[in-house]
Structure 1
Amino acid sequence: MSAILERLRGGLVASCQPIDDGPMDDPHIVAAMARAAVAGGAVGLRIEGIDNLRAVRPVVDVPIIGIVKSDLPDTPVRITVRVHEALELAEAGADIIAYDATNRPRPDPRESVLAAIIGAGRLAMADGSTLEDGQIALAGGATILGTTMSGYTAATDRLNAGPDFGLIRAYRDLGAFVMAEGRINTPELARQAIAEGADAVTVGSALTRLEQVTGWFVDAVRSAR
């Protein structure tokens, strides 16, 4: 397990998650996207969905962080919400399984999802939003603390629009392997995340969501007119 962390340390993880139902939302395209990211130097991948994971696993040899996103009527939590999703990700070949580690209502307690990941012999990445989220996850056996949910919960949605460098430092001080994730959309922000104490950085939209990146440039051009 430590070998997986060493492969990620100091590197970039590419989150290959196309926009739902968009033209790139196809396992074959996600697999090609993943191969391209690795060819560009990504040391790991974050892949959403069982079908996408099964398509990507045979064509890359870097560590994969697997997640399942759900839209459920009774919870705002979306990332690996239920125990059976964690087990399916393990079976499909994820080396690391990320789950929402925030303190919000959900069908399966976050502790149960974490226990399922560890029981399946996979590393657990806690997608947190606060220092307390990280403390509880570490106590339960999580190996990686991600800043993924900072800014996306009711308790943190008033934070600035950029990465939560304060949470990166707080998680570093806990002695965890820290994954900087969330609103890192320029090389400079990725560099700064490492400088602030992150062990690795995950970048998604700026690398793999062509519709969003195109929109950034379209807005800039239109505003100049």
Structure 2
Amino acid sequence: MDHSVLYKVKGGLIVSCQALEHEPLHSSYIMGRMAYAAKLGGAVGIRANTVEDIREIKKTVDLPIIGIIKQQYGDCNVYITPTIKEVDALVECGVDIIAIDATKRERPDGKTLDESFKEIREKYPDQLFMADCSTYEEGIHAAEIGFDLIGTTMHGYTDYTQGATLPNFDLIGSLVRDCGKPVIAEGGIWCPEDLRKAIDTGALTAVVGTAITRPMDITKRYVEALQ
């Protein structure tokens, strides 16, 4: 297992370059250019969705990549790398870290997180895995079952954390103190001051997405200030 990637991202900014099918910038080419711009701006890593986007990003960017595949299965609420099928695809395209929904919710194949991750870890013992969690308890549990990195990605995005104030620095700090694994701060980081505070709270690194790479949402925030 290559832990050198952790040193490469320590104390820096990871930029999430994603655009879903219904969004204006949906294009692997555009995400590739977005990632290149992030690199030129000083980012130490990229978080990206889909094999197509990751392959395009790799053409011009040599930074560590956190890979995910957002895949909806029926009415299942777990959609971030939800089954081993998505993990297989990400391993094949060679991402440094694979992020998986690590909430307590049932997987689309009916498996629990424990059952699913046990199978994944046995198949890929040398791959780094990040747990996308929504609560302190989920983060602690993900660390216990063998995830390498613990993220706060899903905080505010599960039905039992909706309405949470983001970023939740208390959650980040508690996980840093107690989980025994490197913590990646993610979710609701909207300004440089938030990023600085997340790192000062003890996070290994932090992921910023919408505030940098989603111009439609950025524009909406400015427009709302006028209303």
TM band (smaller chain): over 0.9
Segment of structure 1 superposing worse, 65-74 or 18-27: 18-27
Q: Is the 8 A contact 2:65 2:96 kept in 1?
A: yes
Match of 2:18 in 1: 17
Match of 1:122 in 2: 127
Give distance in 2, aligned partners of 1:95 and 1:113. Answer: 20
Deviations 1:68-118 (A, max 9, x none): 112222311111101110110111121100000000022243235434257
Match of 2:158 in 1: 153
Q: Which amino acid aligns with 2:211?
A: A
SS where residue 71 of structure 1 aligns? coil
Question: What TM-score does the superposition give when structure 2 sets the normalisation length?
Answer: 0.92
Q: Which among 188, 191, 194 is matched to residue 189 of structure 1?
A: 194
Match of 2:144 in 1: 139
SS where residue 192 of structure 1 aligns? helix
Offset of residue 158 of structure 1: 3.5
Give distance in 2, aligned partners of 1:46 and 1:112. Answer: 26
Q: Residues 41-56 of structure 1: matches in 2 within 5 Å? A: 41-56=42-57
* Change in 2 beyond 3 A, CA 1:59/1:37: same
Q: Is the 8 A contact 2:78 2:108 kept in 1?
A: no
Q: Which amino acid aligns with 1:122?
A: Q
Find out whether 1:169 has 2:169 as its counterpart: no
Segment of structure 1 superposing worse, 122-131 or 20-29: 20-29
Offset of residue 139 of structure 1: 1.9
Q: Which amino acid aligns with 1:60?
A: V
Deviations 1:105-162 (A, max 9, x none): 22243235434257333200000111221222112221110001111112211422x2
| Root-mean-square deviation (Å) | 1.5
Q: Is the 8 A contact 1:83 1:112 kept in 2?
A: no
Match of 2:184 in 1: 179
SS where residue 59 of structure 1 aligns? coil
Q: Is the 8 A contact 1:97 1:117 kept in 2?
A: no
Residue ranges of structure 2 left out of the alignment (5+ in a row): none
Q: Percent identity?
A: 41
Offset of residue 46 of structure 1: 0.2
Match of 2:215 in 1: 210
* Change in 2 beyond 3 A, CA 1:31/1:112: farther
Q: Is the 8 A contact 2:73 2:108 kept in 1?
A: no
Give distance in 1, aligned partners of 2:212 and 2:148. Answer: 26
Q: Is the 8 A contact 1:54 1:93 kept in 2?
A: no
Q: Which amino acid aligns with 1:153?
A: T
Q: Is the 8 A contact 2:66 2:98 kept in 1?
A: yes
Question: What TM-score does the superposition give when structure 1 sets the normalisation length?
Answer: 0.92
Residue ranges of structure 1 left out of the alignment (5+ in a row): none
Q: Residues 33-112 of structure 1: matches in 2 within 5 Å? A: 33-108=34-109, 109=111, 110-112=113-115
